[in-house]
Amino acid sequence: MPAPLQSSSPRVVVTGLGMVSAAGTGVEAGWDQLCSGETALAPIEGFEAAAYGEPLAGEARHLPLDPDVDRSFQLLDLALDEALGDAGWGDAQRGEGTGVVLGTSQGSIVRAQPIHRGLSRRPLGAPEDEHKRAFANYRPGAGTARVAERAGADGPCATVGMVCVSSSVALIQAADLIRRGVCDRVVAGGFEEFSQFVFTGFYCIGALASGALRPFDQARDGTALGEGAVLLTLETLSSAQARGATIYAELLGGGHAADAVHMTAPDREGRGLERAIQQAFDESGLGPDGIDYLCAHGTGTVFNDAMECQAFARIFGAARSTGRMPPISGLKAVFGHTLGAAGALDAVFSILALTRGVFPPTACTESPLEDWDFVTGEGRHSEEPLNVALSTNSAFGGNNSALIFRRWDGEGAQA
């Protein structure tokens, strides 16, 4: 279990945000869509989906995609350009002091799928150049290498493959690199492209919604998949202040833990998620009473949403009884479940909730579970400043994660 951060450890702040999602290119497009309370999910266009019923998905269908470049690379390029521009990173932020940590579950699977399928049906022989490129780019780490090359990052580069907690754990690992003095700054986040292969897997295990994705709703019956790339620039507080950067928030703590009870199903009582949240509290020095907003995983599946509520009930029991239970949002009804990008997407909107004083709504949810303060309808403005957000994610294999961010107020008092 992590100990509270030492005063001598470099403090980690967020200075840049970049995103591509079903809502459009750019963080503002996503924020506007989110706060409207309207879903960006639509009938599938990327492949013939009639055999699956009438499923919805969060495809980035607005992109002017280049057919000669991997889709995941194009998502990453757009998100990276926005994040670096937002952070004001230039030549001075290149080199050995800059690292990259990204999360993804499948990498560039869309381009690799038909080529691998074709190779399996042809006589053995020397593969063509396009087959070699597809194999090289399919590696989940290929996206990380591309971001490192374009960002001029010669420091450590790592790829986290933990399904739906991949990018939140990537943020935790990025912060650890900075706190240990390995890097001065890190590009961190995640990416996922929408594919028939992954979609079919979710269909086969009965995890997809029959219609709208309804997080934490009594009528929920499954999730919907999405795609996107979400990147954040993390750096030391001293680095950001020295160059006069705009600081969004400080990453105070993180945790990840496994319950490992089933290949896909979560622990019904959310014990792994509870441990991950407690680790984040321990590292940040905060507790349940210090949380102003909770961004939950909220896949819309029967078991995931129920287990999250179980974990929240134990963690926030006392706060709930005294009226200090923070408002809760689940964002996947808007963007779809972006798998490897989900944790970073939730992190970005948790940060924007703090900086803009707005609780994002949980779209498509009409009859929420339990006696919780789920934000529904449109974005809700807070009457008081929002200072600290907790973002949680869960994944297949019993993986769970939690991140705690604090709004930067210009003073930077330690927690």
pLDDT of residue 412: 54
51 assigned to some structural domain: yes
The CB density around residue 205, as the number of other CB atoms within 10 Å, is: 13
Mean pLDDT of 365-394: 94
- pLDDT-derived band at 415 (thresholds 50, 70, 90) equals very low
Cβ-based neighbours of 321, under 8 Å, separated by 6 or more: none
Does residue 364 register a pLDDT over 60?
A: yes
23-53: pLDDT as tens digits: 999 999 999 999 999 999 999 999 999 999 9
**Average per-residue pLDDT for the chain:** 91
pLDDT of residue 115: 61
pLDDT of residue 155: 96
CB-based contact 135:169 (threshold 8 Å):
no
- Let me know if 164 is a catalytic residue: yes
Q: Which of 76-85, 148-157, 188-197, 317-326 has the lowest mean pLDDT?
A: 317-326
199 assigned to some structural domain: yes
- pLDDT-derived band at 201 (thresholds 50, 70, 90) equals very high
H helix intervals, 243-358? 271-284, 302-315, 317-321, 332-335, 342-356
CATH number at residue 104: 3.40.47.10
Tokens matching residue 399:
């993986």
412 assigned to some structural domain: no
Total domains in the chain come to 1
Does residue 138 register a pLDDT over 80?
A: no
Report in angstroms the alpha-carbon separations of 40 from 31, 62, 358.
Answer: 12, 11, 20
415 assigned to some structural domain: no
5 assigned to some structural domain: no
Q: Which of 93, 105, 85, 91 is nearest to 26 (CA)?
A: 85
This prediction has a pTM of: 0.93
* DSSP secondary structure of 392-404: EEEEGGGEEEEEE
Does residue 393 register a pLDDT over 50?
A: yes
64 assigned to some structural domain: yes
413 assigned to some structural domain: no
Mean pLDDT of 188-214: 95
Tokens matching residue 248:
């969004």
97-130: pLDDT as tens digits: 999 999 999 988 877 766 655 544 555 455 566 6
Task: Express as a percent the part of the chain with pLDDT over 70.
Answer: 91
pLDDT of residue 105: 93
pLDDT of residue 297: 98
Q: Which of 161-175, 208-222, 229-243, 313-327 has the lowest mean pLDDT?
A: 313-327
Does residue 202 register a pLDDT over 90?
A: yes
Kindly tell me the burial class for residue 92, based on how many C-beta atoms sit within 10 Å of its own C-beta (0-12, 13-18, 19 or more): exposed
**Cα–chain center distance at 171:** 9
Catalytic residue among 157, 256, 295, 297: 297
CA–CA separation, 182 vs 86, rounded Å? Answer: 24
Catalytic residue among 35, 157, 183, 337: 337
Range of the domain at 84: 12-407
3 assigned to some structural domain: no
Mean pLDDT of 210-234: 97
CA–CA separation, 84 vs 52, rounded Å? Answer: 40
Torsion of Cα atoms, 66 then 88 then 331 then 312, to 10°: 140
Mean pLDDT of 74-96: 96
- Let me know if 256 is a catalytic residue: no
Mean pLDDT of 374-381: 94
- pLDDT-derived band at 385 (thresholds 50, 70, 90) equals very high
pLDDT of residue 68: 81
Catalytic residue among 157, 164, 295, 364: 164
Q: Which of 8-12, 23-27, 355-359 has the lowest mean pLDDT?
A: 8-12
